[in-house]
A and B are shown apart, each in its own frame.
Chain A
Amino acid sequence: MVSVRKILVYVAAAIVGLYSILPIYSLVIISLMDVRDVVAGNVFPVNPNINAYLRIFGFDVVGPYGPLRAYGGYEGLMRGLTNIMIVAPTVMAITIIAVVPAAYALGRLRVRGRSALVLTLLASRSLPPVSVALPYFFLFSQLGLRTSLIGMIIVHLTITIPITTWILMGFFAALPRDLEKAARIDGCSRLGAFRRVVLPMAAPGIAATAVIAFLFSWNDFFFSWLLSQGTPAATYNAQLSGFFNFQNEPAMFAAAVTVQILLATVVATALQRYIVRLRIVDPGAVVVET
């Protein structure tokens, strides 16, 4: 009886694993296939090669049926990669500097009107992107922000700040209070107690939210594409839309997308240990408390 249950659990675990990985697998194998594998309809690359990667990074290669030119838009793609490598870490840094004090205050202090503050922040996050798309487009065109990375950073901050405040608030609220109280009684200032006692305890939570902010910025397609496409400030994701015109080159498209998800998945794998520790805030409790 016990063993039947055990087998079922392992079967379920296998299904969960396959479910999680198969779409990613189907993307990655195409990036490693050449035209022979694609035509044959293979489920794994029989002739694996990295030609597609070389081509999107601007190298001419020799394929099975003669030379293949580099991807025509590779300069834009590389500039996009540079841009997002500036934008995403900046967004992450500003988010953490802005959010840690606010989340500490909302999560740990007796604040009147806390639920109103939290709801104001969260409500702005639940706006459908399409509802703000056209006004953003006009506003950023008029201010000349479409062609600068600063505009992109501002837009990403309006996405990352509400969500990370909410997450980190719950993390601060769940930390034990005795040590901080003891530090205050021993003569530490509020800032001193925060720096010496709360901050070290909160370090894993802050690291996790930093990564979440980074991923939001790194993964944003809608605003990047809407606002920066066709400008020098175009990010990597915005440049990826160029592949829509290259439907007959699936390998290069797959390779370009794989490059984008590679860093994201590495970061998420590192984050995975912490994410279980990030308790979500119960907005209901917040409402009742105040």
Chain B
Amino acid sequence: MKLGDTAFALILTIPLIALVLSINIYPIAYSFWLSLHDISLIKNTITPVGLQQYAKALSDTIFHGSVFVSLRFVAESVLLVVFLSLGIALVLNEKIRGLPVLKVLVILPWALSEFAVAIAGRFFLDRNYGFLNALLVSLGIVKEPLYFLNAVNAVDWLAFFFAWNVTPIGAYFILSALQTIPEELYKQAKVDGASALQRFRMVTFPFIRYALLITAVLATILSASSIVLFFALTGGGPGFASTPTTLYAFRVFFNAQDFGYGAALSWLLLAFVITISVLYFRLLSRRR
């Protein structure tokens, strides 16, 4: 019997999709069912409440704060990831001595788990034994160690360490795009008298646009889902100053054990991530 290509491909692919979906559909459906109920562990009751849990989110000021933290974190992370990746890729694209060593150094932060990144962040920023404070004090820039993870700046530092972790992959995406640019185009542009900025805009940018976009997509989706970094670096504090929606939903689930409300919050988050992903896929498929 001779199989067509499509049938052959389906035989090889369907089992994987079945596995991944079976382990994902149940949790998603179950958490939606939870979000329509009020579950009390003390009274041991499950009461259907319709959309009340979602209505509760509308008037929950801590939830509002967490949405603001999430949006700020995602925006800062994406900007940092895109610009740092581009900068690093441009450096790696130069013909410099020690390039192989630099390439290895650049990939290192990507190899760290989100947890290890958070702990490295702690040891970098800690007031008592952090490296940054030790350096600033020993150089005489500050007299007393600074408290970096304060209510105002904690989110900025979280975004910085998120970007530190994700940047290598973005830099490598952009680098591989940079290396497809023919040398002659630059020479031609120079002959035509284009400035460095013009050369970047007219020659470089069209070649790396797709890689930049993919980097932004990855950074958005990953940063919107990020939770371990917050949990392990700041614990969401001080107060709720660095608690994003992911961590707040988790705390409502597991610390407050308000399963219905936690599920509703996680569904709002899911809706947000799906909306962003769909918008990006639209953008990616139109831009060709």
Contact = CB atoms under 8 A, between A and B. Distances in A.
A50 interface: no
A261 interface: yes
B8 A126 contact: no
Given A130-B227, A135-B26, A287-B285, A26 B103 contact: no
Contact of B123 (A43, A190, A250, A287): A250
A117 B13 CA distance: 8
A33 B284 CA distance: 49
- B interface bracket (residues with beta carbon within 8 Å of A): 35 or more
A126 B225 contact: yes
Contact of A135 (B30, B134, B247): B30
B123 A254 contact: yes
A251 to B, nearest CB: 9
- A interface bracket (residues with beta carbon within 8 Å of B): 35 or more
A286 to B, nearest CB: 9
B269 A275 contact: no
A244 to B, nearest CB: 8
Interface in A197-254: 215, 218-222, 237, 240, 250, 253-254
Given A23-B121, A279-B176, A101 B116 contact: no
A260 to B, nearest CB: 6
B27 interface: yes
Nearest to A165: B16
Interface in B127-141: 128-135, 137-138
A23 B164 contact: yes
B83 to A, nearest CB: 13
A237 B20 contact: no
B133 to A, nearest CB: 7
Contact of A158 (B24, B123, B269): B24
A162 B102 contact: no
Nearest to A158: B23
B266 A130 contact: yes
Contacts of A131: 27-28, 31, 266-267, 269-270
A48 interface: no
A157 interface: yes
A27 B87 CA distance: 25
B119 A99 contact: no
User: Which has the most chain B C-beta neighbours within 10 Å: A13, A19, A124, A264?
Assistant: A13
Contacts of A250: 123, 126, 129
A111 B173 contact: no
A111 B262 CA distance: 41
B273 A283 contact: no
A43 to B, nearest CB: 5
Contacts, number: 276
A43 B131 contact: yes
Interface string A108-132: 0111111001011101101111111
Contacts of B9: 102, 105-106, 109, 111, 114
Contacts of B227: 128-130, 222
A59 interface: no
Given A22-B131, A43-B135, A111 B23 contact: no
User: Which has the most chain B C-beta neighbours within 10 Å: A13, A30, A42, A130?
Assistant: A130
Interface stretch (B43-51, B53-61, B107-115): B107-115
Contacts of B24: 124, 127, 132, 158
Nearest to A112: B6
Contact of B17 (A117, A132, A268): A117
A62 interface: no
B270 to A, nearest CB: 5
17 contacts: A10-B96, A23-B161, A24-B112, A27-B119, A27-B120, A30-B129, A41-B129, A99-B16, A101-B12, A105-B5, A121-B17, A128-B224, A129-B225, A215-B111, A219-B115, A237-B115, A257-B120
Interface of A: 9-10, 12-13, 16-17, 19-27, 29-30, 33, 38, 41-43, 98-99, 101-102, 104-106, 109-114, 117, 119-121, 123-124, 126-136, 138-139, 154-155, 157-158, 161-162, 165, 190, 215, 218-222, 237, 240, 250, 253-254, 257, 260-261, 264-265, 267-269, 271-272, 275-276, 279-280, 282-285, 287-288
Interface of B: 5-6, 8-10, 12-13, 15-17, 19-21, 23-24, 26-28, 30-31, 34, 84, 87-88, 91-92, 94, 96, 98, 102-117, 119-121, 123-124, 126, 128-135, 137-138, 145, 161, 164, 168, 172-173, 175-176, 179, 210-211, 214, 221, 224-225, 227-228, 232, 246-247, 249-250, 253-254, 259, 262-263, 266-267, 269-270, 273-274, 277, 281, 284-288
Query: Across chains A and B, which 9 residue pairs bring their CB atoms closest together, nearest first?
Result: A26-B131, A135-B27, A219-B113, A268-B111, A105-B9, A221-B115, A128-B225, A109-B5, A132-B27
Given A38-B129, A114-B9, 17 more contacts: A13-B102, A19-B84, A23-B124, A42-B138, A102-B9, A117-B17, A120-B17, A121-B17, A124-B20, A124-B21, A128-B270, A131-B266, A134-B266, A158-B23, A250-B123, A272-B107, A276-B175
